[in-house]
Amino acid sequence: MNILVIGGGGREHAIIRSLKKNPQVQTVYALPGNGGIAADATCVPIGATDLDGIVKFAGENAIDYAVVAPDDPLVLGCVDRLNAIGIPCFGPRSNAAIIEGSKAFSKNLMKKYSIPTAAYEIFTELPKALEYLKTAPIPTVIKADGLALGKGVIIAQTREEAVEAVTDMMANNKFGASGSTVVIEEFLEGPEVSVLAFTDGKVVKPMVSSMDHKRAGDNDTGLNTGGMGTVAPNPCYTEAIAQRCMEEIFLPTIAAMNAEGRTFTGCLYFGLMLTKDGPKVIEYNCRFGDPETQVVLPLLESDLLTVMQATTNGTLAETEVKFSNQHACCVILASKGYPESYQKGFEITMTEEARAATFVAGAKLAEGKLLTSGGRVTGTTAIADTLEDAIGEAYRLSDGVKFENAYRRSDIGQRALRESR
Ligand code: AMP
Ligand code: GLY
């Protein structure tokens, strides 16, 4: 089979490695992929949002199945376009990807179908937003409506900060068109859990839970990033909470999307907060998370391609989705300065054992050398019988990945370890 994977980060590298465990998979094309993915797939320099280029390539290369991994091509309708030329895809059509593409849409969906989430107001006019902020409970959370690369969320600790954030988004176009509509919502407290779930629009099969580490610095300090590391499973996510999430959140969300005529298939990502009033949805993503995928897929014992195809064919109920009982930890190496400014172009070297455990995110090949080309550069994953051993082994393997100006957090998994004791 010829498989097409759209995207070029560590998540896509993890997806490709898992897909290749199926002996039926002959060729994997990654559009655009990256310098590290090139060791496992044929990378073609067509950008993930170049839908015309993607469709042309797919039509000319006998693609049997396509996996659209990032949010923006999903929201732009990549699946719709590929389906139109007869190529089955993993991932939602654009009318369902809106669950991530518009926070106003997802908040209204949750309100209409009584799915637990933070209380909120939506504003399209700055004066009304400012008026609301005069009496809003503080801290408060300000979110740009559209996709903003995970940076469109501000937790305002004071009224002044809230006013500044809303003004930046609505009047100063800090997030471009994404910020012309803002959601102002209640500040929730509690441990966060990421749950990725396979769905064919009828049944939901959650994957093993995970914990992201979004802040750049140790002890959750510094700026929000795309994620500096992950562990799975998340010790806060007990069997009882999982049951409750299935009944109160997962199944109602799938039913709500069906009722709206926006059937969702693919991977639905539930960003949850376990508050004292029960689990609540912080956000939906219409895709695998990054770097959650780098700990979740290595624990998947069932064949990934078979499960993905079942979400497309509507046969997920009959398809086994089995995870190992072990623990996984992924440690990200980033370019020093990320998520703000950083230098690129440093050579990356890896020991053989580190290479086998490492998913490459921000790197390019130049004259046979692998050079850093992004903020998050690599993610190294280890699996072990205990969380403690998985963390130790991930750090040990990550020591085998070297480049100038490399930066990593030193406490990935420590919070999970505390919670599990
Ligand atoms: P998001 O991009 O929506 O995942 O938000 C980024 C991060 O901001 C989340 O992972 C949370 O840590 C935090 N966050 C978002 N919404 C809220 C909220 N209502 N209350 C508290 N923290 C939040
Ligand atoms: N790790 C969070 C995300 O993929 O959005």
What SS3 string covers 66-84? EEECCHHHHHHCHHHHHHH
Among the bound ligands, name the one nearest to the CA of residue 70: 2
**DSSP character at residue 246:** I
pLDDT at 174: 75
> Which atom of ligand 2 has the smallest separation from the CA of 212?
1
CA gap 98, 79 in Å, rounded: 13
User: Which residue's structure tokens are 């990934």?
Assistant: 304
Nearest CA to ligand 1 atom 3: 283
Q: Using an 8 Å Cβ cutoff, are 382 and 397 in contact?
A: yes
Q: Which atom of ligand 2 is nearest to the CA of 290?
A: 4
Q: How far apart are CA 176 and CA 172, in angstroms?
A: 8
Q: Which of 282, 283, 286, 287 to mutate for ligand 1's pocket (most ligand atoms within 8 Å of CB)?
A: 282
Instruction: State residue 326's pLDDT score.
Output: 98
Q: Check if the beta carbon of residue 400 is closer than 8 Å to that of residue 333.
A: no
Q: How many angstroms is it from 400 CA to the middle of ligand 1?
A: 33
What is the pTM (predicted TM-score) of this model? Answer: 0.95
Q: How far is the CA of 8 from the centre of ligand 2 (A)?
A: 15
CA dist list (Å): 397 to 63, 136, 233, 382, 411: 35, 47, 20, 8, 15
Q: What is the pLDDT of residue 103?
A: 87
Measure the CA–CA gap between 338 and 63, rounded to whole angstroms: 36
Pairing mode, if any, of strands 27-32 and 42-43? parallel
CB atoms within 10 A of CB 329: 31
* Fold that domain 192-318 belongs to in CATH: D-amino Acid Aminotransferase; Chain A, domain 1 (3.30.470)
DSSP, res 420:
T
Domain 2-93: state its class: alpha beta
CATH number of 119-186: 3.30.1490.20
Q: Decide: 289 in ligand 2 pocket, CB within 6 A.
A: yes
- Domain ranges (residues) in the chain: 2-93, 119-186, 192-318, 328-420
Per residue of the chain (421 residues), give pLDDT as tens: 999 999 999 999 999 999 999 999 999 999 999 999 999 999 999 999 999 999 999 999 999 999 999 999 999 999 999 999 999 999 999 999 999 999 889 999 999 999 999 999 999 999 999 999 999 999 999 988 877 655 678 899 999 999 999 999 888 877 776 668 898 999 999 999 999 999 999 999 999 999 999 999 999 999 889 899 999 999 999 999 999 999 999 999 999 999 999 999 999 999 999 999 999 999 999 999 999 999 999 999 999 999 999 999 999 999 999 999 999 999 999 999 999 999 999 999 999 999 999 999 999 999 999 999 999 999 999 999 999 999 999 999 999 999 999 999 999 999 999 999 8
Q: Which residue type, as a one-letter code, is found at position 57?
A: F
Structure tokens given for 272 = 């949850």
How far apart (Å, rounded) are the C-alpha atoms in residues 322 and 40?
Answer: 24
CATH 3.90.600.10 fits 328-420, yes or no: yes
Atom number, ligand 2, closest to the C-alpha of residue 292? 1
CB contact burial 289-298 (16+ within 10 A = b; e otherwise)? bbbbbbbbbb
Q: Whose CA is nearest to atom 5 of ligand 2?
A: 289
What are 366's strand-pairing partners?
369
Q: Do domains 2-93 and 192-318 have the same CATH topology?
A: no
Amino acid symbol at 233: P
Pairing of the two strands 327-335 and 376-384: antiparallel
Residue reference for tokens 């107001």: 121
- Residue 372: exposure state from Cβ atoms within 10 A (0-12, 13-18, ≥19): buried
State the Cα–Cα distance between residues 380 and 361, nearest whole angstrom.
11
